[in-house]
């Protein structure tokens, strides 16, 4: 009988030999899909996220079209900020804005007071994951949250601007307050992760999209040590994956979080990393290829990555970062065909 995607994922992540890596794409549900743009004509992003049937629908769209091996629940890292009392909205000019930010002791006290209510606010995510498990018994399902550091970038800055300078300013001017805030965000993330782990997910990914903002040798102190606490909760219950963006050159620091898998950017060949570190690897096709290349070029670059990793195993095929809204459908199709036909 043909192996299911879920079985393939289990084999690949536990180090068994497989014919090909399992595949999914970060941000696979979203604006590059015509059916997602259609859904957005009648519902806002927040409505989709907060309504379990709609969140499941958005999650299933890329699976229906491309038959990916893994589904990631349609949500956002910022739902935790919202559950802590810091709501977000979309700017007319694109990007995100928080209605209020964290800047002083009072804000951190307010945030800390809500840590144990997070799951109550986020029941809709649990419900969506339960429906999804029923819909997709044979696919691997990912839950996720933001890394406390990356979440703090948004909470303190209030919007996504280059460099998020206010967080580093806060950490340097008031390290005690920084520590208190990070503790609260970590505990909220642990509560949230545990709620998701109750729903038979196969993997849990922590998105540290702004890991690269930490200066050399400060990653562990600013971000890694908090992620390590979340990873510890996931161990043995689901495959733990950390997207440590822009950290390929600093893996000695990043791997201290002790995750099972690291999702890497495109600055290093995966086999080079594997020769040096005995870790599972997710990645790392540059998303620009899907937007700017031809189907044939996409197929070639895809094959290069699988060739490079085929003797190593413990590889999950993915992009180096999230798929872009202008990605071409025929390129995603060429990538999938190359992987499946390998």
Residues that bind ligand CP3 (CB under 6 A): 26-31, 40, 45, 72, 74-78, 95-96, 144, 160, 207, 209, 322
Tokens encoding 140: 């691997």
Yes or no: say if 260 and 14 are a contact pair by the CB < 8 Å rule. Answer: no
Q: Measured from the CB of residue 28, what is the shortest distance to ligand CP3 in angstroms?
A: 5
Q: Is the Cβ of residue 149 or residue 178 nearer to ligand CP3 in the bound state?
A: 149
Tokens encoding 239: 């495959």
Yes or no: say if 281 and 309 are a contact pair by the CB < 8 Å rule. Answer: yes
Q: CA dist 87 to 147, 214, 231, Å?
A: 18, 26, 26
Q: Is the Cβ of residue 144 or residue 149 nearer to ligand CP3 in the bound state?
A: 144
Q: Is the Cβ of residue 8 or residue 244 nearer to ligand CP3 in the bound state?
A: 244
What is the spatial distance between Cα 191 and Cα 185, in angstroms, rounded to a whole number?
A: 10
Q: Is the Cβ of residue 29 or residue 316 nearer to ligand CP3 in the bound state?
A: 29
Q: Measured from the CB of residue 297, what is the shortest distance to ligand CP3 in angstroms?
A: 24
Give the CA angle between residues 182, 52, 83 to the nearest 5°. Answer: 25
Instruction: Give the residue among 59, 19, 4, 49 at the shortest CA–CA distance from 315.
Output: 19
Among all residues, whose Cβ is closest to ligand CP3?
209
Q: Measured from the CB of residue 158, what is the shortest distance to ligand CP3 in angstroms?
A: 12
- Stated as kind and residue range, the H or E segment containing 49 is helix 45-50
Q: Is the Cβ of residue 95 or residue 175 nearer to ligand CP3 in the bound state?
A: 95
Q: Which residue has the tokens 């995750």?
A: 259
Q: Is 311 helix (H, G, I), strand (E, B) or coil?
A: coil
Q: Is the Cβ of residue 18 or residue 71 nearer to ligand CP3 in the bound state?
A: 71
Q: Is the Cβ of residue 18 or residue 59 nearer to ligand CP3 in the bound state?
A: 59
For 169-233, the three-class secondary structure string (H helix, E strand, C coil) is: HHHHHCHHHHHHHHHHHHHHHHHHHHHHHCCCCCEEEEEECCHHHCCCCCHHHHHHHHHHHHHHH
Q: Measured from the CB of residue 20, what is the shortest distance to ligand CP3 in angstroms?
A: 21
Q: Measured from the CB of residue 146, what is the shortest distance to ligand CP3 in angstroms?
A: 6
Q: Is the Cβ of residue 207 or residue 317 nearer to ligand CP3 in the bound state?
A: 207
What is the spatial distance between Cα 281 and Cα 260, in angstroms, rounded to a whole number?
A: 9
Q: Measured from the CB of residue 247, what is the shortest distance to ligand CP3 in angstroms?
A: 13
Q: Measured from the CB of residue 81, what is the shortest distance to ligand CP3 in angstroms?
A: 10
Q: Is the Cβ of residue 149 or residue 207 nearer to ligand CP3 in the bound state?
A: 207
Q: Measured from the CB of residue 27, what is the shortest distance to ligand CP3 in angstroms?
A: 4
Cis bond leading into 284, ω under 30°? yes
Q: CA dist 282 to 88, 186, 265, 266, Å?
A: 30, 24, 9, 11
Residue 169 main-chain phi, psi, to 5 deg: -60, -45
Q: Measured from the CB of residue 271, what is the shortest distance to ligand CP3 in angstroms?
A: 25
What is the spatial distance between Cα 8 and Cα 292, in angstroms, rounded to a whole number?
A: 30
């Amino acid at each position: 009988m043909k192996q299911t995607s879920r079985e393939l994922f289990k084999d690949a992540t536990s180090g068994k030999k497989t014919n090909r890596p399992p595949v999914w794409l970060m941000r696979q549900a979203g604006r590059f899909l015509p059916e997602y743009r259609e859904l957005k004509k009648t519902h806002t992003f927040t409505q989709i996220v907060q309504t379990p049937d709609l969140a499941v629908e958005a999650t299933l769209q890329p699976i229906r079209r491309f038959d990916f091996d893994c589904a990631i629940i349609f949500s956002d890292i910022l739902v935790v900020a919202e559950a802590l009392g810091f709501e977000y909205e979309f700017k007319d000019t694109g990007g995100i804005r928080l209605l209020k930010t964290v800047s002083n002791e009072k804000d951190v006290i307010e945030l800390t007071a809500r840590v144990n209510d997070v799951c109550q606010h986020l029941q809709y995510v649990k419900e969506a994951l339960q429906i999804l498990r029923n819909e997709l018994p044979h696919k691997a399902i990912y839950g996720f949250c933001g890394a406390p550091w990356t979440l703090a970038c948004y909470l303190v800055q209030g919007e996504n601007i280059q460099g998020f300078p206010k967080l580093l300013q806060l950490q340097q001017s008031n390290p005690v307050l920084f520590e208190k805030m990070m503790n609260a965000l970590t505990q909220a993330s642990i509560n949230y992760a545990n709620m998701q782990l109750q729903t038979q997910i196969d993997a849990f990914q922590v998105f540290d999209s702004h890991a690269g903002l930490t200066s050399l040798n400060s990653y562990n102190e600013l971000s890694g040590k908090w992620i390590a606490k979340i990873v510890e909760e996931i161990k043995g219950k689901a495959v733990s994956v950390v997207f440590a963006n822009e950290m390929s050159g600093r893996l000695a620091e990043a791997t201290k979080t002790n995750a099972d898998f690291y999702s890497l950017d495109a600055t290093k060949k995966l086999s080079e990393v594997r020769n040096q570190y005995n870790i599972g690897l997710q990645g790392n096709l540059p998303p620009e290829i899907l937007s700017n290349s031809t189907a044939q070029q996409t197929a070639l670059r895809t094959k290069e990555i699988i060739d490079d990793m085929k003797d190593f195993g413990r590889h999950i095929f993915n992009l180096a970062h999230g798929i872009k809204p202008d990605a071409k459908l025929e390129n995603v199709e060429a990538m999938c065909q190359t992987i499946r036909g390998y």
